[in-house]
Structure 1
Amino acid sequence: MEKPPATAVEASACGKVILLGEHAVVYGRPALAVPVCGLRAWVRAEPGPPGSGCWIEARDLGEILRLTTAPADSPLARAVRLALAHLDVPEPDLRLVLWSALPIAGGLGSGAAVATALIRAVFRWFGRPTDPAVIAALVYEVEKLHHGTPSGIDNTVIAYERPLRFVRGQAPVFFTIARPLPLLIADSGIPSPTRETVAAVRAGWAAEPARYETLFDAIAALVWEAEARLAIGDLEGLGGLLDVNHRLLVELGVSAPALDRLVVAARQAGALGAKLTGGGRGGNIIALVPPERMEAVAQALRAAGARAIYRTVVPPTAAAPGG
């Protein structure tokens, strides 16, 4: 077994937003997601006294867990247990200190980011490589506690920290962004109950499969068109697709009046397009905003009730070799 370091090591993980395709992605359709690199979860792994075991301190939650006594349904403890089991190492004398800039239950992948940072920290403590595919698979198991039937998109885009097209059960495909993608993320201040919205969509699909399959197909068509628009830098065309995707999410029943107000406010203030992102019924919206309109749109979003606003620019990128 590798000898752990005598001093602390750190690891972090980014947030994410889904550009298009949420909910439909659970049913085998594609979705596009991008990392939000400026909003991160951090973990510092520090050596503990001999015989102390492993402890997890979540500063933002005011929570301290001892790994040996933490409940089975604790996502934090599950992440650490999965990492140790994968590495096939005994519980170390270790203190894992966690803090995050990501809002909880906001559709920005907070749970997946925290789990990714924890698992990376444990891997680094034991000197093991943090292969994105391995990390994504482990975090997916943690995501089941959060979402019941997760799509797999959060853990994948966060583990790889690259824009990607995701189809459930398939290898991720990194796509091309020809021009910088300037986004405003507006937090409604309402927690997004992703597990509940996923379950509600599943119930609707079970009751009206033909209607829901048609909606999922329409969302999938938007995703493919959006990928083509991004590849040529057509942000105006992309904005229109975001608008249509939001309308389809409204039809799926996963929007909310607060989200709709923010979407309308962003558009009226000069956004090229806007939509909810993530599970819906709360959480965040994203708006595609030209740089010269950023401040005007941000002011309009605050006036419409946004509790917090984050600015991010996804840089241009090329597809990975071989797609």
Structure 2
Amino acid sequence: MTHIRSYSPWKGPEPWLDTNPIGGVEIAQAMKETVEASACGKVILLGEHAVVYGRPALAVPVCGLRARVRAEPLPRGSGCWIEATDVGGEIGLATAPPEHPLAMAVRLALAHLGLPEPDLRLILRSELPIAGGLGSGAAVSAALIRAIFQWGGRPADPEVVSALVYEVEKRYHGTPSGIDNTVIAYERPIRFVRGQPPVFLSIARPFTLVIADSGVPSPTRETVAAVRAGWERDPERYERLFDAIAELVQEAERCLASGRIEDLGPLLDANHQVLGELGVSSPVLDHLTEIARKAGALGAKLTGGGRGGNIIALTRPEQAERVAQALRAAGARSAYRTEVV
């Protein structure tokens, strides 16, 4: 497995905060054409919640759903504007508060490149549901950062994008695990243990997931806090549950490495059951996972914080549309397939 350099709480130096001028002012002013950039979403395959307590988690990119940014030049003196109708309207970079996450992403990218505020309109559109466990916040930040890098005539190295997105994620989540920014910046599956460098997953055979949006927002802060409270009340029980999830993650990693994709299904089912015991499932998520199985999925589970958000279902490619249709008929707001390679 290949280790990934990832800037998260356990890292020391923060090189992304250094400026690295490249004659950037001249480049930015000279460029008068529109540029575009995008970033994928992500799902946690197995291991959510237990990952907070030192156990491993597996996460994969959702390349078919993306946040997209188009950067259009404005007349001199107009300043930089972020048009984000999907997530709150239009904001001006000069007047946005320091903690505004969209403005923060743009400012971090400009600081890294050594560029002043450009005369630019950043038009942001996202296909990723908000508060659904698909990394929508990290994807939006990554797309904005990549657009600024393109505007500045500089390649957006995944290591740097991951580091900058992580800084913004701290605004969203306080102490993020580092999973979202890493998977989304590199667009590759990873194995993640908090406090250790992530590693790229070895996947012997591609596989198909159907992702279904329950239509209920996932209150991640609340579910994380609820698990923490339960762990404080009964640490022995919760540690057993976290260990059970870790065993499932380790077996899933072996299945992926050996190409035993069919054997991954029961592991997803078992992980969902343990998450239910942790108190982070819900009747709607249990219902959707059961519908997926009855429609032919090899296994299904919630993904992300739980109590809402999305479920994932492992399917054979030829059964994916049947499973997606069954989930939509059962009340899912949307259902779509993605291939993991």
TM-score using structure 1 length: 0.93
Deviation at 1:62, TM superposition (A): 5.3
Q: For each residue in 1:75-132, what CA deviation from the matched residue of structure 2 results, as whole angstroms up to 9, or x when unmatched?
A: 1111112222223332222211111111111111111100000011112211222111
Q: Tell me if the contact between 1:235 and 1:272 (Cα under 8 Å) persists in the aligned partners.
A: no
When residues 109 and 221 of structure 1 are mapped into structure 2, their CA distance, relative to the original with a 3 A threshold, is: same
Matched residue of 1:11: which SS? strand
Q: Which of 31, 35, 39 is the matching residue for 1:13? A: 39
- AA matched with 2:294: Q
Question: Which 4+ residue blocks in structure 1 deviate beyond 4 angstroms?
Answer: none
Which residue in 1 is equivalent to 2:54?
28
Identity of aligned residues (%): 75
2:140 pairs with 114, 124, 127, which one?
A: 114
Q: Distance in 1 between matches of 2:223 and 2:88?
A: 27
Counterpart CA distance in 2 for 1:207 and 1:150 is 23
Aligned to 2:292: 266
Structure 2 residue runs without a partner (length 5+): 1-22
Correspondence 1:290 to 2:308: no
Matching residue's letter, 1:235:
I
More displaced stretch, 51-60 vs 79-88: 79-88
Q: Secondary structure at the match of 1:242?
A: helix
Does the 8 Å CA contact 1:255/1:280 hold for their aligned counterparts? yes
1:201 and 1:67 map into 2 onto residues whose CA distance is 38
Structure 1 residues 48, 169: closer, same or farther in 2, change over 3 A? farther
In terms of mean alpha carbon deviation, does 265-274 or 292-301 score higher?
292-301
SS of alignment partner, residue 265 of structure 2: helix
Provide, for residues 25-67 of structure 1, a one-character-per-residue CA deviation record: whole Å limited to 9, x for no partner: 1222211111111111111112222122211001323510001
Give the aligned partner of residue 319 of structure 1: none
For 1:168, what is the secondary structure of its paired residue?
coil
Aligned to 2:17: none
1:240 aligned to which of 252, 255, 266:
266
Q: Is 1:222 equivalent to 2:252 in the alignment?
A: no
Alignment check: 8 A CA contact 2:208 2:316 kept:
yes
Counterparts of 1:86 and 1:267, CA distance in 2: 47
Distance 1:103 1:219 in 2: 26
Q: Spell out the pairing of 1:1-323 with structure 2 (5 A cutoff).
A: 1-2=23-24, 3-4=27-28, 5-61=31-87, 63-315=89-341
Q: State the TM-score, normalized to the length of structure 2.
A: 0.88
> 1-side partners of 2:217 and 2:285: how far apart?
12
Instruction: Tell me the amino acid that sits aligned with residue 177 of structure 1.
Output: I
Deviates more, 1:241-250 or 1:192-201: 192-201
The corresponding residue for 2:15 is: none
Q: Is the 8 A contact 2:325 2:335 kept in 1?
A: no
Aligned length: 315
- In 1, the alpha carbon distance for the partners of 2:84 and 2:94 equals 16
Q: CA deviation at 1:295?
A: 3.3
Match of 1:318 in 2: none
Shift of 1:286: 0.3
Q: Which amino acid aligns with 1:182?
A: T
Aligned to 2:20: none
Secondary structure, aligned partner of 1:255: coil
Cα RMSD (Å) = 1.5
Counterpart contact for 1:6–1:47, Cα < 8 Å? yes
**Could you list the runs of 5+ residues in structure 1 that have no partner in the other structure?**
316-323
